[in-house]
Amino acid sequence: MPATRVHPNPDVMTTREAADYLGISTAMVAKLLHAGLLPSGRIGARRYFLRSQLDAWLAAGGTDSEPSPGSAA
């Protein structure tokens, strides 16, 4: 089931939305974040993902790519 849009900007995604966009589980998103492989940002306790960063991450090979400086908060 598609995630309900939480943020008004379609280029900013929640963890659930990012998981749906990437076609993986939220548990896999958490594993990738813990490993420092998935680009994301944080505001307080909320994690967010930019569509452009996820697209670049996928284009670079996804989990096989090295994390870029400052990509995981």
CATH assignment at residue 48? 1.10.1660.10
DSSP character string of 7-21: SSSTTEE-HHHHHHH
Element (H, E) at 58: helix 51-59
The answer to the question of residue 23 being in a domain is yes
Interval 22-57: pLDDT, tens? 999 999 999 999 999 999 999 899 999 999 999 999
The answer to the question of residue 72 being in a domain is no
The answer to the question of residue 18 being in a domain is yes
Determine the structural domain holding residue 41 and report its residue range: 12-62
- Stated pTM of the model: 0.72
